[in-house]
Amino acid sequence: MYVNVHPVTTVRVGTQTAEIDQLLAPVIEATWRNGIQTLTSCQDAGESNADWVPKLPHMADYVTTRKGWAFIDFGVDQGLAFLDAVARAGVRDAFYVRMVHWAAPDAWRINVKPYDSAMFDETTPSNFQLRLMQIMFPQYDIAEIVRRLSNHAAGQLTAPARTDWTTVGR
């Protein structure tokens, strides 16, 4: 049985209800209010994986580099919808650049993970599919994500405009 290392709060939107890490609860609530489905989430990937290090020492770097980083897992299409909603409801500033450019300071880590159905049924041949998108961001972006998702849900979108690329030297 999994025991959450972070304090949780109950999030309810319509018929959806889940226990969510307290720091991420506003993000998940705003995400659901936009009709975007989530799979799992964690407010601090480093803290939640720290107990792996004694058993799997190679995880030490992962734990160290993910401290202070939150993540949300989505189906691929829902992850793209999340990114669209966050990007469309705010200016193309340093926050936006963290979302979209790998070389930005504290750039978001966005991974699409293929899964092999044979992992779940070893009697079947391998069959890879793209099923999971993990979006990881620094905890200090949580308030801005909530603000943008709330604006998106209210139909308050920002018109496309020039991007401020100064954080990546462009």
Split into its structural domains, the chain has a count of: 1
Per residue in 53-103, pLDDT (tens digit) is 889 899 888 888 889 999 999 999 999 999 999 999 999 999 999 999 999
What is the pLDDT, as a whole number, of residue 2? 58
Q: CA 17 to CA 106: how far, in whole Å? A: 31
Residue 1 lies in a domain: no
Q: What is the pLDDT of residues 110-150, one digit of tens each?
A: 999 899 999 999 999 999 999 999 999 999 999 999 999 99
> CA angle, corner 30, sides to 103 and 63, nearest 5?
45
Give a yes or no: residue 72 inside a domain: yes
Q: And the tokens for 21?
A: 């890490």
- Is residue 2 domain-resident? no
Residue 49 has a pLDDT of 80
Residue 51 lies in a domain: yes
Angstrom CA distances, 37 to 6, 31, 102, 119, 139, stand at 22, 7, 25, 24, 20
Identify whether 3 is part of a domain. no
